[in-house]
């Protein structure tokens, strides 16, 4: 990606792309009655779609892992699924609608897509019968977590976010345009998502994401 960026922009771009490095792959087992130390996968109907999630641990503290742009629980949170305490936590990593294995439908980006993801995330955890949840959100997942905590404060216990932003600036737009064409990405960044989606869906969805995130620049002060 040959893009001229200042040090702050370069750091934000590295953060954005760091999620695309290959993570630890976990097997997609079927649903199970007891979770122990294994990682299991399933889908559940939520708000008119079937959302895919992975689950591990048997602790009383429920934790939802929210992936970033184009990401999934499998690609973004392998280390957390493996290493977070199985005794203290019940860990759920979800694929937002249109991402990962939560397809169909294809991903789209209406102006309220973060609010939609926030509602999907909370309703998923309620469908899994958790009374409260803590949120760990990365990048777009961090934005989703912020909105979820604001809209459902009585349901969110604690929250950790990283690599997220509250608004879209002119500098951000330059960064986003730099990643629009996935053929210019490094092979290391591109291959995991090609394997997950196939090249055509990956390329199309990345372009749509850039258009979707740029919508917020037209709002007052660019606030998401």
pLDDT, tens only, 67-97: 999 999 999 999 999 999 999 999 999 999 9
The mean pLDDT value of the chain amounts to 88
Average pLDDT over residues 123-136: 98
pTM summary value: 0.85
Spatial CA neighbour of 138 closest among 112, 159, 164, 157: 164
Any domain includes 169: no
What's the rounded Cα separation, in Å, for the pair 83 and 220? 41
Note the pLDDT tens digit of each residue in 139-186. Answer: 999 999 999 999 999 999 999 999 999 999 999 999 999 999 999 999
**126, part of any domain:** yes
What pLDDT was estimated at residue 9?
45
- CATH number of the domain residue 156 falls in: 3.40.50.1820
Residue 179 lies in a domain: no
In terms of phi and psi (left: phi > 0; alpha: psi -120 to 50; beta: otherwise), the region of 99 is beta
107 domain residue, yes or no: yes
Is residue 155 within 8 A of residue 133, CB to CB? The reply is yes
Q: Is residue 212 part of a domain?
A: no
pLDDT at 102 over 90: yes
In the chain, the number of structural domains is 1
Confidence label for 211 from pLDDT (cuts 50, 70 and 90): very high
Task: Assign 177 to helix, strand or coil.
Answer: helix
Domain contains 159: yes
Q: Is the pLDDT of residue 106 over 70?
A: yes
Domain that holds residue 32: 24-164
| pLDDT band for position 33 (cuts 50, 70, 90) | very low
- Asked if residue 174 belongs to a domain, the reply is no
């Amino acid at each position: 990606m040959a893009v001229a960026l200042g040090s702050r922009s370069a750091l934000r771009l590295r953060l954005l792309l760091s999620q695309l490095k290959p993570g630890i792959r976990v097997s997609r087992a079927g649903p199970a009655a007891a979770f122990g130390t294994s990682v299991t996968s399933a889908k559940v109907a939520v708000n008119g779609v079937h959302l895919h999630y992975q689950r591990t641990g048997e602790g009383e503290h429920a934790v939802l892992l929210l992936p970033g742009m184009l990401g999934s629980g499998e690609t973004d949170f392998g280390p957390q699924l493996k290493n977070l305490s199985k005794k203290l936590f019940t860990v759920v990593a979800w694929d937002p609608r249109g991402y990962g294995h939560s397809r169909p439908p294809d991903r789209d980006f209406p102006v309220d897509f973060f609010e939609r993801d926030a509602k999907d995330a909370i309703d998923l955890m309620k469908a899994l019968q958790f009374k409260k949840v803590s949120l760990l959100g990365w990048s777009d997942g961090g934005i989703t977590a912020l909105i979820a905590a604001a809209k459902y404060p009585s349901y969110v216990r604690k929250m950790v976010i990283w690599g997220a932003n509250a608004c879209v600036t002119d500098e951000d737009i330059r960064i986003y345009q730099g990643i629009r064409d996935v053929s210019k990405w490094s092979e290391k960044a591109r291959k995991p998502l090609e394997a997950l989606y196939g090249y055509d869906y990956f390329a199309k969805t990345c372009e749509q994401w850039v258009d979707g995130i740029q919508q917020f620049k037209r709002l007052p002060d660019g606030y998401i």
